[in-house]
Structure 1
Amino acid sequence: MISQQKDLNNLLKNFKENRFISHAYLIEKNNYDDFDALLDIIIKSFFCQNYEINCSKCSKCALIDNNIYDDLEIIEATGLWIKKEQLIKLQKEFQLTSRNGGKRLYVIKDVEKLTSSAGNTILKFLEEPPKDVHAVLVANSRFQVMPTILSRCQIIKLIPDRIEHKQIELSKKIYDFIDILNKYKIKTIAFLPLEIKNIFLKKEEAEETYEFLFKILYSKLKKGNYELLNQIEECLKCKSLIKNNVNLNLLLDKLIINLVGGLENEI
């Protein structure tokens, strides 16, 4: 679900337009599912001759697909750690002139696995990279990375798939709730499907649900629908009551009654 990844989208857009905000990026993957496939898209976006995302048609992308592109180096742990010798070899290779006459990229996977000596070795390279040399470092969490390395990188934070999927599903159910409310008005109490009702009734989800509803109503308010002020105020009141262990069934009924009561125009 790349579309929901704001930091990643900005990175891919900059790569596509051949603009580089930094010479070093740290991608915080946060247990992102199938990250290797995503990393492949990022790498090809960096080199693509067609300036496309996930091209696989131009000669450079084809070479990358076949793991034979000279200006790309991927460093991984050998055993438990990434060793100093691997980075010394990388630096020697990237000090040479590009064989393809363009930009070069090295990727260090699981950068939290750098030994202390390997971390110190890469620091100088991050501080003063050769011309047209860029770095993509990958870590599951930035908090596991040496602060001296972190400070030299622009951080690209990924949203974990499970959180992203949950937010999309929740948003869809709240929009369905609004559609039902507009259609059935007060009868929504009787007609509301259980799968939608549950997002208001499960305590661990209720607060987030009311927060989402508030944001949706507020976005419509900003578009000039000032009749929604009462509904927004009611939504905030209900959200504040959740922590008081109120009956969530009664709270939902109260929300529907008050939303319908102020509903002269459709939400």
Structure 2
Amino acid sequence: MLNWEELQQSQLVVLQMIQNSMKKKRVAHAYLFEGEKGTRKRDVSLLFAKSILCERPENGVACESCSNCKRINNGNHPDLHLIEPDGLSIKKEQIKNLQAEFTKTGVESNKKIYIVVHADKMTPNAANSLLKFLEEPSSETMAILITEQVHRILPTIISRCQMISFKPLPKEQLEKQLLNEGIHPNLAVLASNLTNNYEEAVEICRNEWFAQARLIVLKLYEVLQKSPFQAMVKIQEDFMQHFKEKDQIERALDLLLLIYKDLLQIQLGKEEHLIFPDQQGLWKSNALQVSTSRLSNNMTSILEAKRKLNANMNSQLLLEQLVLRLQG
């Protein structure tokens, strides 16, 4: 689970807002955590709840050793309730059951905290039921609503919450967090250039399919330097066998685009920014032999291929045309 030190690195503004409200004893009765997927809103909501319910907090930071902290970490604290979609939505019955809990006194403390994950997925009836609670706040209860699509939340609910916005992780911070997770440096730098979503980045790095995808795309680039015939064979054999779905092909095109971006960085003498640092020695001569305009045209061709892919063009035909363009 996320700790305060990690939060300081990834969401400093969020940390400052939460800590200031706790130090000044001005904790709101309802919060709306909004931001893109992977910005760790759920982790922060649990960290916030833990700090409020902790038996021995210090400067608004949970001790991590008391009974309350341990039970929250284990997911079984009676005064912390987590509401998540039942199927595709959060239903009125779920909010009604939650409201029934509002009438009860806290079991372990005076506080009761409710976290609604994917609050934008509440049905209209569920949203209206929750609104009644927000309109009549109790000093002993606190709600945290989490959403990736704040525009789908009722304006009347938004107006009754203190909104805290979560920003995507900067590339450098995401790479650092991945390294702290024990991810190999080559995969960490690559994943941080493919997404700013922490959860997705970790999944990418630990996915054997992706590790193989990286090798296949690197091999395709190598073959592209030799002959059109060999590249076509590569497309029909290894490539299409591994990249079967539309999103997988799009990922392959992203990897190919990053290769040409690295070649451009080598030309500009910015080797410290390489996304494939282990390939520097192999690519240096290639990079210096091709013009900057040619690299730019190749990158444009890859972006055009992505556009055509999303327009549902036949994937094999698209890739064969791309190979011919990349070889000039």
Q: Do these two structures clear the TM 0.5 threshold for a shared fold by scoring above it?
A: yes
Structure 2 counterpart of 1:78: 86
Contact 2:53–2:109, Cα closer than 8 Å, also in 1: no
- Which amino acid is 2:57 matched to? Y
In 2, Cα distance between equivalents of 1:143 and 1:195: 42
Partner of 1:97: 105
Whether 1:23 and 2:29 are equivalent positions in the alignment is: yes
Shift of 1:121: 0.3
Q: Does 1:2 align with 2:7?
A: yes
- 1:143 to 2:157 alignment: no
SS of equivalent to 2:126: helix
2:247 corresponds to = none
Q: Does 1:130 align with 2:138?
A: yes
User: In structure 1, what is the Cα distance between the partners aligned to 2:272 and 2:82?
Assistant: 46
In structure 2, the CA distance between the partners of 1:131 and 1:22, relative to structure 1 (3 Å rule), is closer
Q: Distance in 2 between matches of 1:54 and 1:29?
A: 24
Deviation at 1:114, TM superposition (A): 0.3
Residue type of the partner of 1:76?
A: E
Residues 1:7 and 1:164: Cα distance change in structure 2 (over 3 Å): farther
CA distance in 1, matches of 2:86, 2:134: 22
Q: Which deviates further from its counterpart, 11-20 or 38-47?
A: 11-20
Tell me how far 1:43 sits from its aligned partner.
2.1
What TM-score do you get using the length of structure 1 for normalisation? 0.58
Kindly indicate whether the alpha-carbon contact (under 8 Å) linking 1:7 and 1:156 is maintained by their aligned counterparts in 2: no
The residue that corresponds to 1:40 in the other structure is 46
1:185-204 to structure 2, matched below 5 A, reads 194-195=270-271
**Cα contact 2:45–2:144 (8 A) shared by 1:** no
CA–CA distance in 1 between the matches of 2:271 and 2:41?
Answer: 31
User: Is the contact between residue 31 and residue 144 of structure 2 (CA under 8 Å) also seen in structure 1?
Assistant: yes
| 2:66 maps to 1:61 | no
Residues 10 and 66 (structure 1 numbering): CA distance in 2 closer, same or farther, change over 3 Å? same
Gaps of 5+ in 1: 169-191, 199-267
In 1: Cα distance, 2:172 partner to 2:25 partner: 28
Q: Which amino acid aligns with 2:23?
A: E
CA 78–197 in structure 1, closer or farther in 2 if over 3 Å, else same? closer
Pairwise CA distance, 1:146: 1.5
**Counterpart residue identity of residue 51, structure 2:** S
Shift of 1:130: 2.4
TM-score w.r.t. length of structure 2: 0.48
The residue aligned with 1:187 is none
Pairwise CA distance, 1:9: 1.0
Please point out which of 100, 116, 123 is paired with 1:108: 116
C-alpha separation between the residues in 2 aligned to 1:34 and 1:154?
Answer: 18
CA drift at 1:29: 3.0
**Structure 1 residue 165, shift from structure 2 partner:** 3.7
d(CA) in 2 for partners of 1:25 and 1:59?
25
Deviations, residues 197-230 of structure 1 (Å, cap 9, x unaligned)? 99xxxxxxxxxxxxxxxxxxxxxxxxxxxxxxxx
Aligned to 1:246: none
Distance change >3 Å, CA 116–CA 103, structure 1 → 2? same
Aligned mates of 2:125, 2:171 — CA distance in 1: 36
Question: Using the alignment, how far apart are the partners of 1:132 and 1:49 within structure 2?
Answer: 16
1:105 and 1:165 map into 2 onto residues whose CA distance is: 30
Distance 1:23 1:116, change over 3 A: same
For the structure 1 residues 194 and 67, does the alpha-carbon distance in structure 2 shift closer, same or farther, using more than 3 Å as the test?
closer
Number of corresponding residues: 175
Residue pair 1:15, 1:46 contacting (<8 A) in 2 also = no
Larger RCO (CA under 8 A, 6+ residues apart): 1
Any conservation in 2 of the 1:12–1:45 contact (CA below 8 Å)? no
| Residue type of the alignment partner of 1:28 | E
| Identity %, equivalent residues | 34
Query: C-alpha offsets along residues 39-61 of structure 1, whole Å, 9 cap, x if unaligned?
Result: 33222122122214353211111
CA distance in 1 between counterparts of 2:22 and 2:84 reads 26
> Could you give the per-residue CA deviations for residues 108-137 of structure 1, whole angstroms, max 9, x where no partner exists?
000000000000000010111223111100
User: In the TM superposition, what is the alpha-carbon distance from 1:65 to its structure 2 partner?
Assistant: 1.8
